[in-house]
Structure 1
Amino acid sequence: MQLLKLLKDKIQTTPILRLDKIAHEIKAAFDELISKEKEEALAKFKAEGGTEEEFEYRHHEEEREFLKVFNDFRYQLNSLRKEAERQKEKNLTAKTELLNKLRDLVDGEETTLSMSTIKAIQEEWKAIGPVPASQNRNLWASFNALMDRFYDNRSIYFELKELDRKKNLESKTELCEKAEALKDAPELKEAIRQLNELHEEFKHIGPVPREDQEKLWQRFKAASDAVYDRRKDFYEGQKEVYLQNQVEKEALIAQLATFADFKADRIKDWNTKTKEILDIQKAWEKIGPVTKEAGKEINKAFWAAFKHFFHNKNLFFKELDEIRAANQNKAEELIAKAEELMNNTDWQNTANQLVKLQQEWKKLGPIPEKNRDNLYKKFKIACDTFFENRRNSNKQSNNEFDENLKKKQDIIRQIHEAAKGEDLSENTLSELVSEFNETGFVPRKNIKEIQAQFKDAVDRYLEKMDPSGSGREDFLFRLNLNRIQADPNSTKTLNRKEHGIRKQITDLENSITLWRNNLEFFAASKTADKLKDQFDIKIKKAEEEIDKLKSKLSILKEF
């Protein structure tokens, strides 16, 4: 989350006591973002049938981390402020004790150590840091009044007092010269800092001769006013700069507006846009301040557009996570199916199923990166295991096919040899055909060739044998079925042949029924008798054909 990163960066690079305003701006933007997410989650919960009373918003990890960082910052800030206030109270106590010590010195009897003591008190007073603002003026008034009393009441040390005041006059005159030089200092900010240090030093130097006191103060004040006037002129001149800064910041806000409706389906596109918007943020931070009147609205508009983009980005990644999780579940299902099939020895059907699973795998969308490679590895191992097993099996099968080819070539040779002899019989041919059919598969490239050779050998045998009699047709039909059975697709062919025979029987039976119905309508006449005789012949032939077809069905059941 960009607001979290921004807050962390600011805490690391900006002094804690100067960070309060911008930290609260970031917190306000973050609260608005969370509020919007909560409203969207509630709307979705209601749309799914829930009620507002049942709704419970689950804080995500980024929110908890942001609140922890912000609360840590607030704790540090409050600690520093409390420590500063405690130190001011300690300083107040220390200065109050010094005032009491100074008061005792002023009200006490003069000694030779009075001047060294008063100087020590002055140095200690100067070394003590700031006190609560409400007590500062009274403390200084009391301190200066006591110092004046000390010098006024110690007549015995008048000359030393005057000498000391002259030294103070020299020191303060030197401070006036330094203050006057600051008017032309190239760096105004540095000049203001040095002037504040001169004022602090001026306060801690003791009194000067009364006749020079007002004149000296007016000189120091005039030098200070010259620097302050320069600062005033600078800020007046900065109005134009602030207005130009406002124009530049409004231009950046306009740029951000183009990101409001950005949508994309690829992470790369979101990352590209994120880089662009972060570049805009960097440009924003390089631009100086704007006028106080426009500052709040300008900042609000910029950060609202900024957070709107990242809100949409967060929604995209939430949806992407859901899609990835769903795709991971699909991948795991495909892996389970592949692992279930990998040791199957039904090579053709299993291969078809695995190829289909591979095609489904290619259609899968994105999967969580941490699991993607591992899931693909498991799926690939399952597929590779099956195809490796099939390759090993095919090597063994190829050897068997070669042996089968030799056996079938030998049977064909036996049929040719038998056809040359005189003792030809249906039984001999049937046995050779059965032996041929019972022999297993041959290499694919030799199937058509060996079938052609086998058909040619059987045809030559039949030509020489020339079977006759009532069983000739059944023999030829049975022989044809034997040849069909040698075909790898014999089951389908036999099923089609059975279906064709049954259809022929049905058609013939329907025709017989029709002819018999027609006979009932013929009247007694010579012409009608001739037609009846013709229909009787048709019916008889049809019944004979049905008997032959039923005989073929009986033979088919043997195969």
Structure 2
Amino acid sequence: MSENDNLQDADGKIELNTTETPQTPEESKVAEASTSEEIKESIETTETTPESTIETEGTTVETIDVSEAVKEDTTETSEDVTVETEVVSEEAKDIATEEVSEPVIETSDKAESHVEEIDEANAEDAEDETNAERHEVESKDYHAMTMEQLVDELEALIKDQKIQTIKSQVDEIKSEFHSKFGELLEEKKEEFLSEGGNVIDFYFTTPVKKRFNDAFKSYRNSLNAYYKALESNLKQNLENRLTIIEEIKGLINVEENINTTYKHFKDLQEQWRNAGPIPRDRYNNAWNSYHHHVEVFYDFLHLNRDLRDMDFKHNLDKKTKIIERAEELAADDNINRSFRELQVLHKLWKEELGPVGREHREEVWERFSNATKTIHDKRQAYYADLDKAHEVNLVKKEDIISKIEDIAQDQPKSHQAWQNKIKAIETLRQDFFNAGKVPIKVNDATWTKFKTAVRNFNRSKNTFYKSLKKDQFDNLHKKQELIKLAEENKDSDDFDKTTSLMKKIQSDWKSIGHVPRKDSDKIWKQFKKACNHYFDRMHEERNAASKEEMAAFEEKSTLLETVKAIELSGKPEKDIETIKTQINAWKAIGHIPSNKRFIDGKFNKVIDGLFGKLDMDKAKLEMMKFENKLETLSNPNDTRLLDNEQNYIRKKITEIKGEINQLENNMQFFSNVDESNPLVRDVIKNINNHKDSLQTWENKLRKVKSMY
């Protein structure tokens, strides 16, 4: 027969609701101090029970109470009062066998969920005696935390808590982190694809993701090392406990002094208490088997009822204390603290104490079970209220999702409008995370609905910015062309012509619009550098020339006064020569500041006055004055003034031709009138005058053309 033959079949695992309000370390310590340590201390002070001996001869069984002997001489050893048992009677064996066939079980035969919940929790703790400390680890609202905060929490748990006590917290942190990072990853992937990227080339990570991976890897390695060491220990402890059960089973068949057998039994019980943790899936079966055989041994002790009754009384007293404490806990409003302390009470009931007399078994168990049920029901009600709160949170989150969907439906046309929507969505995202937990059954569906709503908004946003980026790339190309043009002309010495070009380039730059942000600063600095280079050169040269120009202005001012004082001799040729000399002197002076050029008009007016005093043909005088004017307009680097003058002359020629044609048409009405008619003579005179004027303007036009 193997060592497991006497174990009962394993019960089905009961799934527990492990979500609970965090219990402070102080509450946990008070709870355990008021139960486990207090009751254990009481047990230790009453461990010593009177030993008895039996003597069996033939079919007679005599029970000997040695308590009086112990009282008379406390220094007498157990061997001094022990009568050796040489033969165990057949009757005694029959009685023992009969008792074994119907083992006493203190718990009810029917399934009690409130007891099973406690047993399952204790079975979980039994795998590692330090696991009970995990209930002191605070579970926070990880759903409302950012990825950075989640990693901070994970690193703090690994550093400050025992690795085997933080599984639920780590699992929740992992789930929340992956959800948040997954959402960010999808958003970045869509942006990458919207910019023309290939899905096989996409890769994205962040420093916080690396921190999380490192922290979780550290947790996993530490946990694996812990459980590897624990597994070996659990296996050995289980073997030790099964060996103890086998030894207890064999006590009823040992033919030895009952006193020695009882001491052996108490030693086995102590070994059992110190045997250490065992696998959780074997916990209940091992304990049930142990208690079964302990009860069989106590029933075997009916051969020495005083000894057995003393143990029964001891167990009854301690179980009564446990019941009273459980009933106090049933009235406590701190649900989680009561449940944790109740676990300790059940562990003491099961692991530290043996059975009570048959007449009390049903009664004490019923009281203990009722107190347990009260706490169980209050705990279930607490979680029911928690579920209601989660339902309220669900309504809040559904409303937030609806608002996100409404915002996603609108498609603004401007960058600023999209920025406002992005801020609104971010606020709603934070509200969603801060709204609290929802019922587990709809958690995944709610999260999926939220992600879908946000993803739809992001897709619309990306579509807008994709088209915006296309325009920005076009603008970038246009501005790069302007930069090229500015750099090609930045070293030009033709300041009059290039300045207008550079100003036009700057004006075009302002009208083009935005470029991609990553290129904005770079191209602006490049463009600004080229423009500043040109205008700095221009200003530097003009500042150098300004002194010379002012000196030229002063010289022209002096010459103007000299010309005004000229008195003509009356001889045309000599006077013309005098006038031309002054004109040439004026031209030789050079450039003056642009804001002082009004002096040229004054000089021309004085010269025209001098020409008007000459006694000579008016047509010649007109051409002389015009030639003088052309000298002032002539500039080899800038023909705009000559162009304007040429256009003016052409316009005058056209007007004069039109007037001549009109007068000649009018003459047709005088076909029967003699030319001696005054009216006809005036018309003919006007025609001749216009023809003379036309000749003069045509000469001017030829003169202008010769200046190019």
State whether TM-score is above 0.5: yes
Q: For residues 362-401 of structure 1, what are the structure 2 equivalents within 5 Å?
A: 362-363=510-511, 365-366=513-514, 372=520, 376-401=524-549
Q: RMSD over aligned Cα, in angstroms? A: 5.3
- The residue type paired with residue 546 of structure 2 is N
Q: For residues 39-438 of structure 1, what are the structure 2 equivalents within 5 Å?
A: 56-58=198-200, 60-62=202-204, 89-90=231-232, 92-103=234-245, 105-106=247-248, 107=250, 114=264, 117-125=267-275, 127-131=276-280, 133=281, 135-148=282-295, 163-211=310-358, 212-235=360-383, 241=389, 243-262=391-410, 263=412, 265-266=415-416, 269-270=420-421, 272-285=423-436, 289-290=438-439, 297-313=445-461, 331-363=479-511, 365-366=513-514, 372=520, 376-416=524-564, 418-421=566-569, 424-438=574-588
* Identity in percent: 20
- Where structure 2 has 5 or more consecutive residues not aligned to the other structure, the ranges are 1-142, 155-165, 635-639, 675-680
Aligned residue number for residue 601 of structure 2? 451
Instruction: From the two aligned structures, give the one with the greater helix fraction.
Output: 1
Quickly say closer, same or farther: Cα 1:417–1:70, change in 2 above 3 A.
Answer: closer
2:409 partner SS: coil
Quickly say closer, same or farther: Cα 1:59–1:206, change in 2 above 3 A.
Answer: farther
Aligned residues of 1:412 and 1:457 also touching (Cα < 8 A): no
Q: Distance in 1 between matches of 2:468 and 2:685?
A: 81
Aligned residue number for residue 496 of structure 1? 647
Asked if 1:478 corresponds to 2:624, the answer is: yes
1:216 partner SS: helix
Quickly say closer, same or farther: Cα 1:205–1:175, change in 2 above 3 A.
Answer: same
Aligned residues of 2:235 and 2:278 also touching (Cα < 8 A): no
- The residue type paired with residue 351 of structure 2 is H
Q: Give the C-alpha shift of residue 486 in structure 1.
A: 0.9
Aligned residues of 1:478 and 1:555 also touching (Cα < 8 A): no
Q: Give the C-alpha shift of residue 98 in structure 1.
A: 0.8
TM-score, reference length from structure 1? 0.72
**How many pairs does the alignment contain?**
528
1:364-399: CA deviation from partner (whole Å, max 9, x where unpaired)? 545666765565455444444433333333333332
2:407 partner SS: coil
Q: Distance in 2 between matches of 1:185 and 1:71?
A: 43
- The residue type paired with residue 229 of structure 1 is D
Aligned residues of 1:169 and 1:209 also touching (Cα < 8 A): yes
- The residue type paired with residue 199 of structure 1 is H
Quickly say closer, same or farther: Cα 1:232–1:33, change in 2 above 3 A.
Answer: same
Q: For residues 503-518 of structure 1, what are the structure 2 equivalents within 5 Å?
A: none
Higher RCO (C-alpha 8 Å, min separation 6): 2
Quickly say closer, same or farther: Cα 1:545–1:63, change in 2 above 3 A.
Answer: same
- The residue type paired with residue 276 of structure 1 is T
Q: Give the C-alpha shift of residue 183 in structure 1.
A: 0.8
- Where structure 1 has 5 or more consecutive residues not aligned to the other structure, the ranges are 49-54, 528-533
1:486-521: CA deviation from partner (whole Å, max 9, x where unpaired)? 14764124423664587699989999xx9xxx9xxx
Q: Distance in 2 between matches of 1:496 and 1:545?
A: 17
Q: Give the C-alpha shift of residue 482 in structure 1.
A: 1.8
Asked if 1:17 corresponds to 2:164, the answer is: no
- The residue type paired with residue 415 of structure 2 is D
Quickly say closer, same or farther: Cα 1:18–1:309, change in 2 above 3 A.
Answer: farther
Q: Give the C-alpha shift of residue 551 in structure 1.
A: 5.5
Quickly say closer, same or farther: Cα 1:184–1:333, change in 2 above 3 A.
Answer: farther
Of 96-105 and 192-201, deviating more is 96-105
Q: Distance in 2 between matches of 1:265 and 1:389?
A: 40
Of 57-66 and 356-365, deviating more is 57-66
- The residue type paired with residue 427 of structure 2 is E
Quickly say closer, same or farther: Cα 1:5–1:189, change in 2 above 3 A.
Answer: closer
Aligned residues of 1:327 and 1:366 also touching (Cα < 8 A): yes
TM-score, reference length from structure 2? 0.59
Q: Distance in 2 between matches of 1:543 and 1:221?
A: 137
Quickly say closer, same or farther: Cα 1:442–1:30, change in 2 above 3 A.
Answer: closer
Q: Distance in 1 between matches of 2:309 and 2:222?
A: 45
Q: Give the C-alpha shift of residue 204 in structure 1.
A: 0.9
Aligned residue number for residue 467 of structure 1? 616
Of 208-217 and 70-79, deviating more is 70-79
Q: Give the C-alpha shift of residue 122 in structure 1.
A: 1.8
Quickly say closer, same or farther: Cα 1:88–1:321, change in 2 above 3 A.
Answer: farther
- The residue type paired with residue 240 of structure 2 is L
Quickly say closer, same or farther: Cα 1:13–1:441, change in 2 above 3 A.
Answer: same
